[in-house]
Chain A
Amino acid sequence: KAGVTQTPRYLIKTRGQQVTLSCSPISGHRSVSWYQQTPGQGLQFLFEYFSETQRNKGNFPGRFSGRQFSNSRSEMNVSTLELGDSALYLCASKFSGWADTQYFGPGTRLTVL
């Protein structure tokens, strides 16, 4: 069974631009979560989608948004990029329930110049 895939793997943008990251979950998994990893803050939860609905949300500004499609694929969008948005963005999928194991993708490394 294929793992979680994320595209693109690397991205360079400039301040003020917007970016869209994509995540394809493991087949059969209906929950997709997004995390931001930075050296100073570690892994921080952005949001979780389940059956095309946002089920949980972290403490990030509204510039960070996401969506999930009927095939469970998910996209994350960051508008008006800031230097501090430079990070590794990780997507994780799981079947559905709270105790199900989350499987992470390799991440998208975003650099904002």
Chain B
Amino acid sequence: DQQVKQNSPSLSVQEGRISILNCDYTNSMFDYFLWYKKYPAEGPTFLISISSIKDKNEDGRFTVFLNKSAKHLSLHIVPSQPGDSAVYFCAASGQGGSEKLVFGKGMKLTVNP
């Protein structure tokens, strides 16, 4: 049973526009969320994270929003650049000794010049 869901397998946007990547989760025990980016033939690279005590976290062009009541988070990339083209994974984990990360299946973002 998929506890972290990325329902859209792909997204295509124009350079300079906003990219919005969505993620839903079902386990209410999750309280720490991360986004990773993966290029072909490389391991995932950490992008940004958010704790459940926050509803927004920014790092440069990347902002993650968390809606706990809806069990939904999103990653906004503004402005999008061709180098952002990659597969993005949403991941979640819980505290209290449960340290494994549960990943979504990933979403392929293509930013067109």
Give A contacts to B, CB under 8 Å: 4, 31, 33, 35, 41-45, 48, 55-56, 58, 90, 92, 98-99, 101-107
Q: Cβ of A45 and Cβ of B101 under 8 Å apart?
A: yes
Q: CB-CB < 8 A to A35: which residues of B? A: 103
The answer to whether A105 touches B43 (Cβ under 8 A) is yes
Task: Give how many B residues have a beta carbon under 8 Å from the other chain's beta carbons.
Answer: 23
Chain B positions near chain A (C-beta within 8 angstroms): 32, 36, 41-46, 49, 51, 89, 91, 93, 95, 98-106
Residue of B nearest to A9 (CB): B41
**A56 contact from B41, B42, B100, B103, Cβ within 8 A:** B100
Q: Which residues of B contact A90 (CB under 8 A)?
A: 43-44
A44–B104 CA distance with the chains assembled, in angstroms? 9
A43 near B44 (CB under 8 angstroms)?
A: yes
- Shortest B58–chain A CB gap in Å is 17
Whether the pair A104, B45 counts as a contact (CB closer than 8 A) is yes
Please, which residue of chain A has its CB at the minimum distance from the CB of B4?
Answer: A42
B105: nearest chain-A partner, CB-CB: A42
Give bound CA distance, A107 to B49, whole Å. 22
